[in-house]
Structure formats: structure tokens, C-alpha cells
Amino acid sequence: MRDIFADIFAADPLDPTEAARRHMRPSRLRRFYAQASVEEGEGDWTVLLDGRSIKTPARATLAAPSRALAEAVAAEWTAQQEHIDAATMPLTRLANSIIDGVAAKPEAVAADVGKYLGSDLLCYRAEGPDGLIARQISLWDPVLVWARDSLGARFVLAQGMMPVAQPEAALAAARTAIPEDPWRLGAVHAMTTLTGSGLLALAVLRGRLSAAEAWLAAHVDEDWNMDLWGRDALALERRAVRFAEMRAAAKVIETL
């Protein structure tokens, strides 16, 4: 099997926002296989193309810890047409990043999620107008209440962009919810960087929010401005690509 990842997935960054930006205009390789499938291995499920395993950019085998997840990855390969379009394969790209990146340095990835918690999007509130303030309260306060009641993490709020130091007890409590296994950790990290909120990512992990609900909450300010000034087609296109990354991260959690 040729090393196809070297052609279309090479050097994919761990940050899914940057990965999505790069794949807005992806390089494409002509499809060279007839069938994608999965095969049970030793503790995992390998993705196969025409019965042969394929490699990540770091030359690890592309495999997932559950059959459902491996089949979801294989489905992206099955859906390819005449050319392989990496932009339409967010789950494959996330699996690639988890296998090559997260699994090798889980402590650093977890620490990055912890940094987001220290300046979480949900804690920084608009000073006006009243309509925007009301939207933030409606979508963000229930998540903060959930974090307080379910995680034991009581965060404090700030208005505007002036930084606020979160209580160490709140940060420590929230950090205990960050998963240790590379796949869930990689999914949480992806959702955190896409939304700017570790709390939203943890809420999806724990089933408090769906990916769509977390995505809506993450874009309160952007949606308010679009309602006020009109839609930006290019911005919406970029947002759709990032939302595909968000759904891929949620799919990892759902299928483990």
C-alpha cells in the first residue's frame, strides 16, 4: 500500500482550526482503491483499503479503539469519489492527529485544555447591548451551573476583555474531568480549540450538551454581529468546515 498520508495528510497540525484552514483548498489524489473496510486487531480495529492497512504520516497503522469508530473512519474513505478530498475527511484527520500527536504527549495536550479553562470563553461577558448579554446568559449560564454542580468547579465572571483569575479550586476540579485516554482527550482538545471553551468541550464529553448546542453557544457573539450587520458568505464557509471538525470530535466520543 502506497503511503497516501504523505500525499494528502502530511504534517496536519494538532490544532483542528488550523487543520481546517489548510484543507479549505486541499491537494487531491486520484482514488486508487475499490473498498474500505475494518478488521479486528489486538485491542483495536484497523482501517483497510482493499484489504490492506494504511499508515499515518508518522507511519503508525490507522486503527481505532472501537469497531464503530473504525467503521466511521472507513465510511469517509468509502464516500470519496474520483479523487480523495481530505477536506471531506475530518474524522480521518482527527484520528491521524490523535494517533501521531496526542498519544505521544497526552500530558501536554491535557495541559493545553487546562489553559483554556483558565480563560474560558464562557466567563467573559459583553458589556452591552442588552440583547447580546441576554443571549450569553441564556446559553452560557446553564453550562456554568452544570460545571458547579457536576464538577464542583465554581467559575467567576468578568465583563469585557479584562482578564480575571479563576479560583485554583475551580480549575483543579475542572481539570479532573479532562480525560486521560488519548482518543477522548484528543476529541476534547479539538472541541476546546474550535470553541475557545474547555467547559463546552467537557459538557459535550459528559453528555450535558450536544455538539450542535456547544457550537451554537460558542458563536453567540458572531451570530449577534451577523444578525446585526448581515451574513458573510466566506465566514460561513469557514465556519462550516470547522463545524465538520467539531462533529468529528463528537463522533469519537459517541463511538467509544
- What whole-number distance in Å separates Cα of residue 244 and Cα of residue 20? 9
Per residue in 3-40, pLDDT (tens digit) is 555 666 765 666 665 655 555 555 578 999 999 999 99
Domains, the chain: 5-100 (3.30.2180.10), 105-254 (1.10.3580.10)
Omega within 30 of 0 (cis) for the link into 129: yes
Question: In sequence order, what are the residues at sequence separation of 6 or more whose Cβ sits closer than 8 angstroms to the Cβ of residue 83?
Answer: 28, 29, 30, 31
Tell me the per-residue pLDDT of 123-146, one tens digit each, with 9 for 90 and over.
999 999 999 999 999 999 999 999
